[in-house]
Amino acid sequence: MSLFRKFNCGKGLCSFVGEHESLARGVKYSHETWRKYASPVWMDIRQTRTLNYKVARERNDERHICPLQLDVIERGVTLWSKKGDLVLSPFAGIGSEGYCALKMGRRFIGIELKPAYFNVAVKNLDGLTEEKEQMELFA
């Protein structure tokens, strides 16, 4: 007896784990999007799509800065939150998580110990607020 069973669903993939939960939250992903997000390897992440971190570097910095790609953050925010939810970043850095969260209609709380990173995060988030205000003027 095999541990695997053939599953026939007519035209291919008909449902996926979490489908009913996403319906309850008002979110429905296409099968292509869900398979791309559920893949263990995300080959479509743009490595250079980050916020500018160089202005936060100080002369005697620890040299550990590692900017997180906005594509990765957006995917996580999409998968694990909905509009209006609160996103917490206990190590906010330059505010990349907050930038994506606010841009996607979430609220944000960020915690950062290093003043230089905090100041850049504030500039990044203020810049997003100004960008949204400008977009509303032309909408």
Are residues 84 and 129 located together in one domain of the fold?
yes
Between residues 2 and 62, the one the model is more confident about: 62
Mark whether 76 and 120 lie in a shared domain: yes
Sequence-distant (6+) residues with CB within 8 A of 16 are 31, 34, 35, 38
User: For the domain that residue 79 is a member of, what is the CATH number?
Assistant: 3.40.50.150
pLDDT in tens, 65-94: 677 899 999 999 988 898 999 999 999 989
Same domain, 70 and 114: yes
pTM: 0.67
Q: Any idea what DSSP says for residue 107?
A: E
Q: Counting beta carbons within 10 angstroms of the beta carbon of residue 58, is it exposed (0 to 12), middle (13 to 18) or buried (19 or more)?
A: exposed
- CA 118 from centre of chain: 19
Residue 132 lies inside a defined structural domain of this protein: yes
Amino acid at 74: E
Residues 27 and 76 in one domain: no
- The span from the CA of 23 to the CA of 88, in Å, is 24
Residues 18 and 79 in one domain: no
Backbone angles phi, psi at 18, to 5 degrees: 85, 0
CA 124 to chain centroid, in Å, comes to 16
Q: Is it the case that residue 107 has pLDDT exceeding 90? A: yes
Residue 11: give the domain boundaries.
Answer: 7-41
Instruction: Give the integer Cα–Cα distance in Å for 68 and 135.
Output: 26
Within-domain flag for 2: no
pLDDT tier for residue 64 given thresholds of 50, 70 and 90 = low
Bigger pLDDT: 138 or 113? 113
**Residue 1 within a domain:** no
Per-residue pLDDT at 54 exceeds 80: no
- Please check the confidence at residue 102 and state whether its pLDDT lies above 90: yes
